[in-house]
């Protein structure tokens, strides 16, 4: 009798025994139940308040000598930084569900969960809503597993762990094993404006104003609004839909550079309000803000659990002299990059926990690190008038960007 014949009866016995034993197997799910609030109740809370301390700063925006700082999902701080060494905390505009803003004249454009609002800020201490545009950011309604209700916002989530039998024929509806359903908060959360009455955004922005048009990206579309009458935007064209997930928008002259999870898109806006596709440079799936100086584009590719795709985060330098055929020149390894800004021959990169990195890009094919500022976890950045405004987990930092004497002017905690 060979060894297989000797073993076979034992295997058969073992298999028959497993058919008689019924193990109790269970699986634990995390259930996130949406918390709804009627829209009129949410909008009624939008108001101006005295300046308050920063708690969770997100994206930043500059208009004149005013610095607007998003308090993630809560509203907007307004600082007067006419003297960069002594910024003044002037006001806080409470805007629930807010992540992005733009400013033209006395009008503030802001997202409120899934909608976009225009807010009159002619008096910072008496901000008031003048117009509401619904469902501009439909991804924030979280329709998966939930019935969309145009009269309400999802303003939060109630968490509950639920254990069910593995063989339950009717597993709990809305339970997601190993997945956290969030209220679309920022992951931690500089345009070149052509009008003096328009502000300047950082590279993490989803809003951009060029001439009389507001361009914005939501998860899967590029939209344009005519803001000739600032308080009442009018959609100038139907949304342009993408298969890629869009993240950021950056204007340069008559072009829009759009950062998406699978590449960089370039659109022509010489016919105002009518974006026309120009070209696309693909990359692996990552999170991807992008800026440009017209000759070269610079993009940070962040490879995290949410962004995925590549093994190593990096900075990409792209030749865009031929706008029809952008070409990758080189890459620089990064740790956890977010926003970036250019001042002269220096590129400032927010590299998350690795700090703020300043690279010499006088030779774009071979960027070199000239300075690294540790001890901060930066997210967004705006270079303007020789000052670098940096949003970080630790607060807002204002740096003098003089290459011969880079130093901290002030810090808002």
For residue 373, the model assigns a pLDDT of: 97
The domain tally of the chain equals: 3
Same domain, residue pair 244 and 286? yes
CATH number at residue 242: 2.130.10.10
Same domain, 180 and 217: no
Distance CA 290, CA 255 (A): 13
The residue among 189, 220, 240 that closes a domain is 189
Together in a domain, 84 and 149: yes
What was the pLDDT predicted at 138? 85
Backbone phi, then psi, for 409, in 5-degree steps?
Answer: -85, -45
Could you tell me if 140 and 232 lie in one domain?
no
Q: 39 with 66, same domain?
A: yes
- Is 224:230 a contact under the CB 8 Å cutoff? no
pLDDT at 37: 83
* Domain span including residue 388: 356-413
- Domain shared by 144 and 32, yes or no: yes
At 14 the pLDDT is 40
360 and 314 inside one domain: no
- Structural domain includes residue 74: yes
**pLDDT given at position 140:** 75
Q: Which of 301, 334, 367 is the last residue of a domain?
A: 334
Cα separation, 62 vs 202, in Å, equals 9
CB atoms within 10 A of CB 58: 24
Query: Residue holding tokens 């993009």?
Result: 299
- Three-state secondary structure string covering the chain: CCHHHHHHHHHHHHHHHHHHCCCCCEEEEEEEEEEEEEHHHHHCCCEEEECCCCCCEEEEEEECCEEEEEECCCEEEEEECCCCCCCEEEEEEECCCCCCEEEECCEEEEEECCEEEEEECCCHHHCEEEEEECCCCHHHHCCCCCCCCCCEEEEEEEEEEEEEECCCCCCCCCEECCCCCCCCCCCCCCCCCCCCCECEECCCCCEEEECCEEEEECCCEEEEEECCCCCCCEECCCCEECCCCEEEEEEECCEEEEEECCEEEEEECCCCCCCEEEEEEECCCCECCEEECCCEEEEEEECCCCCCCCCCCEEEEEECCCCCCCEEEEEEECCCCCCEEEECCEEEEECHHHCEEEEECCCCCCCEEEEEECCCCEEEEEEECCEEEEEECCEEEEEECCCCCCEEEEEEC
74 shares its domain with 183: yes
Q: Which residues contact 238 (CB under 8 A, 6 or more apart)?
A: none
- If asked whether residues 206 and 184 sit together in one domain, one would say no
Residue 71 in domain: yes
Domain boundary among 162, 189, 216: 189
Residue with tokens 């962040």: 302
97 conformational bin, left if phi > 0, alpha if psi -120 to 50, beta if neither = left
d(CA 110, CA 112): 6
Q: Residue 20 domain-assigned?
A: no
- Which stretches of the chain drop beneath a pLDDT of 70? 1-32, 141-149, 162-197, 284-287, 304-311
220, 267: one domain: yes
Q: Which two tokens stand for residue 120?
A: 């009159």
Q: Tell me, yes or no, whether 12 lies in a domain.
A: no
Residue 139's CB: how many other CB atoms inside 10 A? Answer: 13
In a domain, 379, yes or no: yes
pLDDT attached to residue 34: 74
Is 347 within a domain?
no
Which residue, 199, 115, 107, is CA-closest to 151? Answer: 115
Provide the pLDDT for residue 323: 96
CATH number at residue 132: 2.40.10.480
Residue 283 domain-assigned (yes or no): yes
Pairing, β 221-226 against β 340-343: unpaired
* Statement to judge: residues 102 and 161 lie in one domain: yes
Cα separation, 118 vs 93, in Å, equals 13
Q: Which residues contact 34 (CB under 8 A, 6 or more apart)?
A: 142, 146, 154, 156, 157
Quick one: CA dihedral 28, 29, 30, 36, positive or negative? negative
Whether 31 and 126 share a structural domain: yes
For residue 22, tell me if it sits in a domain. Answer: no
- Do residues 184 and 140 touch, judged by C-beta distance below 8 A? yes
Q: What is the pLDDT of residue 26?
A: 55
């Amino acid at each position: 009798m060979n060894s297989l014949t000797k073993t076979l009866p034992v295997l058969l016995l073992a298999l028959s025994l497993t058919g008689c034993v019924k193990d109790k197997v269970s699986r634990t799910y995390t259930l996130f139940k949406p918390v709804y609030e009627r829209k009129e109740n949410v909008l009624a809370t939008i108001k101006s308040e005295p300046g308050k301390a920063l708690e969770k700063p997100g994206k930043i925006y500059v208009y004149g000598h005013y610095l607007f700082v998003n308090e993630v999902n809560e509203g907007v701080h307004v600082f007067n930084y006419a003297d960069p060494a002594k910024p003044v905390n002037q006001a806080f505009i409470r805007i629930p569900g807010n992540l992005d803003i733009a400013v033209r004249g006395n009008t503030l454009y802001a997202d409120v969960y899934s909608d976009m609002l225009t807010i009159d800020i002619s008096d910072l201490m008496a901000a008031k809503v003048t117009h509401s545009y619904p469902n501009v950011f439909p991804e924030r309604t979280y329709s998966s597993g939930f019935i969309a209700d145009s009269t309400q916002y999802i303003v939060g989530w109630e968490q509950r762990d639920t254990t069910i039998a593995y063989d339950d024929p009717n597993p709990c509806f809305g339970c997601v094993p190993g997945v956290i359903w969030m209220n679309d908060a920022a992951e931690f959360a500089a345009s070149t404006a052509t009008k003096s009455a328009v502000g300047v955004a950082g590279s993490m922005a989803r809003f951009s104003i060029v001439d009389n048009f507001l361009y914005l990206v939501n998860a899967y579309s590029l939209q344009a609004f005519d803001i000739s009458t600032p308080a009442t935007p009018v959609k100038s064209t139907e949304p342009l839909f993408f298969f890629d997930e869009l993240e950021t928008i950056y204007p340069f002259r008559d072009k829009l550079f759009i950062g998406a999870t699978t590449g960089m898109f370039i659109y022509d806006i010489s016919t105002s309000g009518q974006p026309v596709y120009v070209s696309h440079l693909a990359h692996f799936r990552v999170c991807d803000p992008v800026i440009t100086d017209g000759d070269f584009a610079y993009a940070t590719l962040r490879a995290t659990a949410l962004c995925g795709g590549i093994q190593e985060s990096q900075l990409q330098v792209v030749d865009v002299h031929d706008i029809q055929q952008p070409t990758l020149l080189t890459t620089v390894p990064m740790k956890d990059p977010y926003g970036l800004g250019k001042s002269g021959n220096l590129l400032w990169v927010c590299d998350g926990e690795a700090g703020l990195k300043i690279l010499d890009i006088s030779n774009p094919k071979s960027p070199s690190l000239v300075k690294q500022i540790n001890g901060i976890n930066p997210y967004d950045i705006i270079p303007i008038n020789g000052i670098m405004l940096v949003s970080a987990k630790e607060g807002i930092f204002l740096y003098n960007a003089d290459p011969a004497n880079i130093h901290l002017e002030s810090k808002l905690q």
